[in-house]
Amino acid sequence: MMAVFPKVIQDLIDSLRRLPGIGPKSAEKLAFYLLRMPQAFLTDFSVSIAELKKRVNYCEVCKNATDQTVCRICEDAGRNKSLVMVVEEPMDVVAFERMGKFKGTYHVLHGRISPLENIGPDELFINELLNRVKGRESGRVEEVIIATNPTMEGEATALYLNKKIKELNAKVKMTRLGMGIPTGADLDYADDMTLTQALEGRRDT
Amino acid sequence: MMAVFPKVIQDLIDSLRRLPGIGPKSAEKLAFYLLRMPQAFLTDFSVSIAELKKRVNYCEVCKNATDQTVCRICEDAGRNKSLVMVVEEPMDVVAFERMGKFKGTYHVLHGRISPLENIGPDELFINELLNRVKGRESGRVEEVIIATNPTMEGEATALYLNKKIKELNAKVKMTRLGMGIPTGADLDYADDMTLTQALEGRRDT
């Protein structure tokens, strides 16, 4: 096929195609959509992309994405620093903050242990978590809630963290998010594992 | 909810959300995905976006997106300039060029007549098409293939073009793309309109 796209459009399509969930067809559609957007929008959009990594770093304490040295949550005197919820991604923090009921702090691993993707413990912020629990870098941690995803990799990561934190002999309480039927779900659509965990995690009424 | 996103991430999410097919959740996911991409990729991506409208203009002849004064197709001596296929969007040109069998030229309207979206004939490159047919700006046009989409707006646009071109008395042949069952389709899944058009457009074998 003859090159019908001007180079700048082709470059844009190539970039868009590297994003998750954007196939060749949507990349083309997006590129032509952008061509009709006002230049002011394109300028803002391009600045956000170019400056993204320069303006964002990881919080010294919890490793969440922030534009400060210590993030807004970690610097908030109203948050319970002795309670640390360990999550895989910054998006998980957003989910809990949206809920608005958790008043502790977070620790963002930035991934999960995944031998298939060549991600071992050293690729994650696990040592930083262990240092927090040892109490070297901030106040005493009394409880660590492990809130990795209930996937194979998330569970493996949880097990690894459990083992490592126990080895510290730091007398820290370790918990895991409750598992079971999600609100609004249809019981007969739940998978066996979810049902098993709902049964094991049953509570007195 | 407390602002957990650094401003540059929130700006990026806001820009991404304005793109078609990207909801609030995917915008957040994409923003954090971009945060992990190499800076070299982000730089290239942002340059393509910032420069897009500056480096792309419309071909003087056919109004397709190009980085030249006259696009590669219109300047190609091997293409039949007397045959003009009228399409709604640059993406339609790509579809026909991918097929590779059309050796005429195009005319890109950049939209369709749509009263609901406040798009009338003056918002499209219709006068430019009429001028081409009148033979003022390029060689004599012998056939105009109207290849707008088979939607309500596309059909209305086709009717309008038909009327306007006939008014020119330019003795130009006017054709419309063949309608009917698409290759590989299941007859019993075809809608009534498609079946009607397939029947009306039946050919001798």
Partners of B7 on chain A (C-beta within 8 Å) are 55, 67
Q: Is the ipTM of this complex over 0.90?
A: no
The predicted pLDDT at position A37 comes to 94
Number of Cβ atoms within 10 Å of the Cβ of B22: 20
- The answer to whether the CB atoms of A94 and B21 lie below 8 A apart is no
- The answer to whether the CB atoms of A49 and B46 lie below 8 A apart is yes
Residue A78 CA: distances (Å) to CA of A72, A85, A129, B3, B181: 11, 16, 21, 15, 66
Mean pLDDT (chain B) is: 90
In contact, B52 and A12? CB cutoff 8 Å: yes
Sign of CA dihedral A6, A12, A16, A17: positive
B44 and B133 in a single domain? The answer is: no
**pLDDT tens, B140-191?**
899 999 999 989 999 999 999 999 999 998 889 999 888 888 887 787 887 8
**With 50 as the cut, is the pLDDT of residue B1 above it?**
no
**pLDDT tens, A88-133?**
999 899 888 888 889 999 999 999 999 998 999 999 999 999 999 9
A16 Cα to chain B: minimum distance (Å):
8
**pLDDT tens, A137-158?**
556 899 999 999 989 999 999 9
Residue type, B189: Y
**pLDDT tens, B104-129?**
999 999 999 999 989 999 999 999 99
Any domain includes B134: yes
Total domains in chain A come to 2
B57 Cα to chain A: minimum distance (Å):
9
Identify the H or E element spanning A104. strand A104-108
Any domain includes A144: yes
A2 and A84 in a single domain? The answer is: no
- The answer to whether the CB atoms of B6 and A93 lie below 8 A apart is no
Partners of A51 on chain B (C-beta within 8 Å) are 8
Arithmetic mean of pLDDT, A50-65: 95
**With 90 as the cut, is the pLDDT of residue A4 above it?**
no
User: Which residue among A1, A29, A66 places its CB closest to the CB of B91?
Assistant: A29
A88 and A164 in a single domain? The answer is: yes
Residue type, B70: V
For residues A25 and B3, which has the higher predicted lDDT (pLDDT)?
A: A25
Any domain includes A73: no
A102 and A172 in a single domain? The answer is: yes
B79 and B98 in a single domain? The answer is: yes
B64 and B46 in a single domain? The answer is: no
Cα B26 vs. chain centroid, distance in angstroms?
26
Contacts 24+ apart (CB under 8 A), B160-169: B160/B113, B160/B121, B160/B126, B161/B86, B161/B126, B161/B129, B164/B121, B164/B126, B164/B130, B165/B129, B165/B130, B165/B133, B168/B130, B168/B133, B168/B134
Any domain includes A130: yes
B50 and B119 in a single domain? The answer is: no
Arithmetic mean of pLDDT, A18-28: 93
B62 and B160 in a single domain? The answer is: yes
**With 90 as the cut, is the pLDDT of residue A189 above it?**
no
Any domain includes B1: no
Q: Taking chain A, what is the end-to-end CA distance rounded to the nearest angstrom?
A: 68
Arithmetic mean of pLDDT, A195-199: 83
The predicted pLDDT at position A137 comes to 53
Domain range for residue B24? 8-55
For residues B196 and A14, which has the higher predicted lDDT (pLDDT)?
A: A14
Any domain includes A172: yes
Q: Can you give the CATH number for the domain in which B14 is found? A: 1.10.8.420
Arithmetic mean of pLDDT, A167-189: 85
**pLDDT tens, B6-50?**
999 999 999 999 999 999 989 999 999 999 899 999 999 999 999
The predicted pLDDT at position B41 comes to 97
Any domain includes A94: yes
The predicted pLDDT at position A19 comes to 95
B20 and B74 in a single domain? The answer is: no
Query: Which residues contact residue A136 at a Cβ distance below 8 angstroms, ignoring those fewer than 6 apart?
Result: none
Q: Can you give the CATH number for the domain in which A108 is found? A: 3.40.1360.10
User: Which residue among A2, A8, A42 places its CB closest to the CB of B72?
Assistant: A2
For residues B67 and A198, which has the higher predicted lDDT (pLDDT)?
A: B67
How confident is residue A70, by pLDDT bands cut at 50, 70 and 90?
Answer: very high
A93 and A170 in a single domain? The answer is: yes
Angle between helices B39-55 and A39-55 (to 10 degrees): 170
Query: Which residues contact residue A159 at a Cβ distance below 8 angstroms, ignoring those fewer than 6 apart?
Result: none
The predicted pLDDT at position B60 comes to 95
Residue type, B32: F
- The answer to whether the CB atoms of B48 and A8 lie below 8 A apart is yes
The predicted pLDDT at position A27 comes to 94
B55 Cα to chain A: minimum distance (Å):
7
Say how far apart CA B83 and CA B101 lie, in whole Å: 13
The predicted pLDDT at position A136 comes to 55
Any domain includes A57: no
Partners of B5 on chain A (C-beta within 8 Å) are 65, 94
User: Which residue among A31, A46, A72 places its CB closest to the CB of B50?
Assistant: A46
Say how far apart CA A4 and CA A19 lie, in whole Å: 23
A112 and A163 in a single domain? The answer is: yes
How confident is residue A1, by pLDDT bands cut at 50, 70 and 90?
Answer: very low
A35 and A85 in a single domain? The answer is: no
